[in-house]
Amino acid sequence: MSELEWLAAVLVLINVALVALRSVWNYPFALVAVSVYAIVFFEAKLYSDMLLQGFFFALNLYGWAAWIGAREDSGVPVGWMTDRARLRWGLVTVAAWIGWSFLMHRYTDAVAPWVDGGIAMLSITAQWLLARRRVESWWLWILVDLIAVPLFAWRGLYATSIVYVALLGLSIDGLIQWRRAAAEGALV
Protein backbone atom coordinates (compact mmCIF):
# COMPACT_ATOMS: atom_id res chain seq x y z
CA MET A 1 0.00 0.00 0.00
CA SER A 2 1.41 3.32 -1.00
CA GLU A 3 0.93 6.75 0.52
CA LEU A 4 -0.56 7.78 -2.82
CA GLU A 5 -3.20 5.07 -2.50
CA TRP A 6 -4.07 6.21 1.03
CA LEU A 7 -4.38 9.83 -0.12
CA ALA A 8 -6.72 8.83 -2.93
CA ALA A 9 -8.74 6.68 -0.54
CA VAL A 10 -9.29 9.50 1.95
CA LEU A 11 -10.27 11.94 -0.81
CA VAL A 12 -12.79 9.46 -2.23
CA LEU A 13 -14.40 8.94 1.17
CA ILE A 14 -14.78 12.69 1.68
CA ASN A 15 -16.14 13.02 -1.85
CA VAL A 16 -18.79 10.31 -1.49
CA ALA A 17 -19.86 11.50 1.96
CA LEU A 18 -20.48 14.95 0.45
CA VAL A 19 -22.35 13.41 -2.50
CA ALA A 20 -24.65 11.51 -0.13
CA LEU A 21 -25.38 14.84 1.57
CA ARG A 22 -26.15 16.34 -1.88
CA SER A 23 -23.38 18.92 -1.45
CA VAL A 24 -21.88 20.47 -4.56
CA TRP A 25 -18.55 20.65 -2.69
CA ASN A 26 -17.99 16.96 -3.38
CA TYR A 27 -16.57 17.82 -6.80
CA PRO A 28 -13.20 19.40 -5.85
CA PHE A 29 -12.39 16.31 -3.78
CA ALA A 30 -13.48 14.06 -6.64
CA LEU A 31 -11.23 15.78 -9.18
CA VAL A 32 -8.12 15.35 -7.06
CA ALA A 33 -9.04 11.79 -6.02
CA VAL A 34 -9.52 10.50 -9.56
CA SER A 35 -6.25 12.09 -10.66
CA VAL A 36 -4.36 10.28 -7.92
CA TYR A 37 -6.20 6.99 -8.47
CA ALA A 38 -5.26 7.00 -12.17
CA ILE A 39 -1.65 6.58 -11.09
CA VAL A 40 -2.48 3.92 -8.48
CA PHE A 41 -4.48 1.80 -10.95
CA PHE A 42 -1.84 2.11 -13.67
CA GLU A 43 0.76 0.72 -11.28
CA ALA A 44 -1.61 -2.17 -10.40
CA LYS A 45 -2.22 -2.98 -14.13
CA LEU A 46 -5.95 -2.33 -13.72
CA TYR A 47 -6.13 -0.40 -16.96
CA SER A 48 -9.90 -0.13 -17.19
CA ASP A 49 -9.97 1.47 -13.77
CA MET A 50 -7.04 3.70 -14.73
CA LEU A 51 -8.80 4.96 -17.89
CA LEU A 52 -12.02 5.26 -15.95
CA GLN A 53 -10.40 7.96 -13.83
CA GLY A 54 -10.01 10.18 -16.91
CA PHE A 55 -13.68 9.73 -17.69
CA PHE A 56 -14.53 10.48 -14.06
CA PHE A 57 -12.49 13.67 -14.25
CA ALA A 58 -14.45 14.92 -17.27
CA LEU A 59 -17.80 13.81 -15.88
CA ASN A 60 -17.06 15.39 -12.50
CA LEU A 61 -16.48 18.71 -14.27
CA TYR A 62 -19.83 18.26 -16.00
CA GLY A 63 -21.55 17.25 -12.76
CA TRP A 64 -20.10 20.21 -10.90
CA ALA A 65 -21.53 22.61 -13.47
CA ALA A 66 -24.89 20.81 -13.46
CA TRP A 67 -25.14 20.75 -9.67
CA ILE A 68 -24.18 24.40 -9.22
CA GLY A 69 -27.22 25.48 -11.23
CA ALA A 70 -29.55 23.08 -9.40
CA ARG A 71 -28.59 23.87 -5.80
CA GLU A 72 -31.28 24.65 -3.25
CA ASP A 73 -31.03 25.49 0.44
CA SER A 74 -31.71 21.85 1.33
CA GLY A 75 -29.28 20.39 -1.22
CA VAL A 76 -29.38 19.42 -4.87
CA PRO A 77 -32.78 18.06 -6.00
CA VAL A 78 -32.86 14.39 -7.04
CA GLY A 79 -35.34 12.11 -8.80
CA TRP A 80 -36.08 8.75 -10.40
CA MET A 81 -35.57 7.44 -13.93
CA THR A 82 -38.44 6.16 -16.04
CA ASP A 83 -38.74 2.39 -16.56
CA ARG A 84 -37.82 2.89 -20.22
CA ALA A 85 -34.68 4.84 -19.28
CA ARG A 86 -33.66 2.12 -16.81
CA LEU A 87 -33.97 -0.56 -19.50
CA ARG A 88 -32.09 1.51 -22.05
CA TRP A 89 -29.25 2.33 -19.64
CA GLY A 90 -29.09 -1.30 -18.54
CA LEU A 91 -28.73 -2.59 -22.10
CA VAL A 92 -26.14 0.04 -23.02
CA THR A 93 -24.12 -0.75 -19.89
CA VAL A 94 -24.09 -4.50 -20.56
CA ALA A 95 -23.12 -3.97 -24.22
CA ALA A 96 -20.35 -1.57 -23.23
CA TRP A 97 -19.08 -4.03 -20.60
CA ILE A 98 -18.86 -6.89 -23.12
CA GLY A 99 -17.22 -4.75 -25.79
CA TRP A 100 -14.77 -3.01 -23.49
CA SER A 101 -13.77 -6.15 -21.61
CA PHE A 102 -13.19 -8.03 -24.85
CA LEU A 103 -10.85 -5.28 -26.05
CA MET A 104 -8.98 -5.19 -22.74
CA HIS A 105 -8.67 -9.01 -22.77
CA ARG A 106 -7.47 -9.12 -26.36
CA TYR A 107 -5.14 -6.12 -26.54
CA THR A 108 -3.66 -5.54 -23.07
CA ASP A 109 -2.00 -7.44 -20.26
CA ALA A 110 -4.80 -6.45 -17.87
CA VAL A 111 -4.97 -8.91 -14.98
CA ALA A 112 -8.77 -9.07 -14.71
CA PRO A 113 -10.23 -7.56 -17.89
CA TRP A 114 -13.79 -8.84 -17.46
CA VAL A 115 -14.24 -7.94 -13.79
CA ASP A 116 -12.32 -4.69 -14.14
CA GLY A 117 -14.30 -3.86 -17.29
CA GLY A 118 -17.56 -4.54 -15.45
CA ILE A 119 -16.55 -2.19 -12.66
CA ALA A 120 -15.58 0.44 -15.22
CA MET A 121 -18.79 0.30 -17.24
CA LEU A 122 -21.05 0.17 -14.18
CA SER A 123 -19.10 3.10 -12.73
CA ILE A 124 -19.49 5.14 -15.91
CA THR A 125 -23.24 4.60 -15.88
CA ALA A 126 -23.46 5.29 -12.15
CA GLN A 127 -21.40 8.47 -12.44
CA TRP A 128 -23.47 9.73 -15.36
CA LEU A 129 -26.71 9.09 -13.47
CA LEU A 130 -25.21 10.74 -10.39
CA ALA A 131 -24.39 13.84 -12.41
CA ARG A 132 -28.00 13.78 -13.66
CA ARG A 133 -29.12 13.45 -10.01
CA ARG A 134 -30.89 10.09 -10.36
CA VAL A 135 -31.54 7.92 -7.32
CA GLU A 136 -30.74 4.74 -9.28
CA SER A 137 -27.09 5.75 -9.40
CA TRP A 138 -26.74 4.52 -5.83
CA TRP A 139 -27.91 0.99 -6.69
CA LEU A 140 -25.14 0.83 -9.30
CA TRP A 141 -22.56 2.18 -6.85
CA ILE A 142 -23.57 -0.53 -4.38
CA LEU A 143 -23.00 -3.18 -7.08
CA VAL A 144 -19.64 -1.63 -8.04
CA ASP A 145 -18.55 -1.69 -4.39
CA LEU A 146 -19.51 -5.34 -3.97
CA ILE A 147 -17.49 -6.33 -7.04
CA ALA A 148 -14.53 -4.02 -6.39
CA VAL A 149 -13.73 -5.06 -2.80
CA PRO A 150 -12.47 -8.56 -3.64
CA LEU A 151 -10.77 -7.45 -6.88
CA PHE A 152 -8.72 -4.75 -5.20
CA ALA A 153 -7.84 -7.01 -2.26
CA TRP A 154 -6.68 -9.69 -4.71
CA ARG A 155 -4.40 -7.11 -6.40
CA GLY A 156 -2.91 -6.07 -3.05
CA LEU A 157 -4.69 -2.70 -3.02
CA TYR A 158 -5.78 -3.17 0.57
CA ALA A 159 -6.40 0.49 1.35
CA THR A 160 -8.57 0.76 -1.74
CA SER A 161 -10.42 -2.41 -0.82
CA ILE A 162 -11.10 -1.02 2.66
CA VAL A 163 -12.25 2.23 1.08
CA TYR A 164 -14.71 0.33 -1.10
CA VAL A 165 -16.14 -1.35 2.00
CA ALA A 166 -16.65 2.12 3.46
CA LEU A 167 -18.06 3.29 0.11
CA LEU A 168 -20.57 0.47 0.28
CA GLY A 169 -21.86 1.88 3.56
CA LEU A 170 -21.87 5.42 2.15
CA SER A 171 -23.66 4.20 -0.97
CA ILE A 172 -26.37 2.56 1.11
CA ASP A 173 -26.69 5.78 3.11
CA GLY A 174 -26.76 7.82 -0.11
CA LEU A 175 -29.53 5.62 -1.47
CA ILE A 176 -31.59 6.09 1.69
CA GLN A 177 -31.07 9.86 1.72
CA TRP A 178 -31.74 10.33 -1.99
CA ARG A 179 -34.86 8.13 -1.88
CA ARG A 180 -36.14 10.26 0.97
CA ALA A 181 -35.33 13.48 -0.89
CA ALA A 182 -37.02 12.22 -4.07
CA ALA A 183 -40.12 11.24 -2.09
CA GLU A 184 -40.26 14.74 -0.62
CA GLY A 185 -40.80 16.15 -4.07
CA ALA A 186 -37.36 16.83 -5.43
CA LEU A 187 -36.54 16.45 -9.13
CA VAL A 188 -38.67 13.84 -10.93
Q: Tell me: the pLDDT tens digits for 155-187? A: 888 888 998 999 999 899 999 989 998 888 744
Taking CA atoms, 28 is separated from 31, 65, 98, in Å, by 5, 12, 32
State yes or no: pLDDT of 1 exceeds 60: no
State yes or no: pLDDT of 96 exceeds 60: yes
Per-residue pLDDT, 21: 83
State yes or no: pLDDT of 188 exceeds 50: no
Confidence of residue 45 (pLDDT cuts 50, 70, 90): confident
Q: Hey, where are the domains in the chain? A: 3-183
Neighbours of 72 (CB within 10 A): 9
Confidence of residue 99 (pLDDT cuts 50, 70, 90): very high
Neighbours of 50 (CB within 10 A): 20
Per-residue pLDDT, 74: 57
Q: Are 118 and 97 in contact (CB under 8 A)?
A: yes
State yes or no: pLDDT of 124 exceeds 50: yes
User: What is the average pLDDT across 88-114?
Assistant: 94
Percentage, residues of the chain above pLDDT 70: 94
In this predicted model, what pLDDT tens digit does every residue of 8-27 receive, in sequence order? 999 999 998 898 888 889 99
State yes or no: pLDDT of 46 exceeds 80: yes
User: What is the average pLDDT across 109-128?
Assistant: 92
Mean pLDDT of the chain: 90
State yes or no: pLDDT of 73 exceeds 80: no
Neighbours of 64 (CB within 10 A): 17
State yes or no: pLDDT of 69 exceeds 90: no
Return d(Cα 101, Cα 18) in angstroms, integer.
31
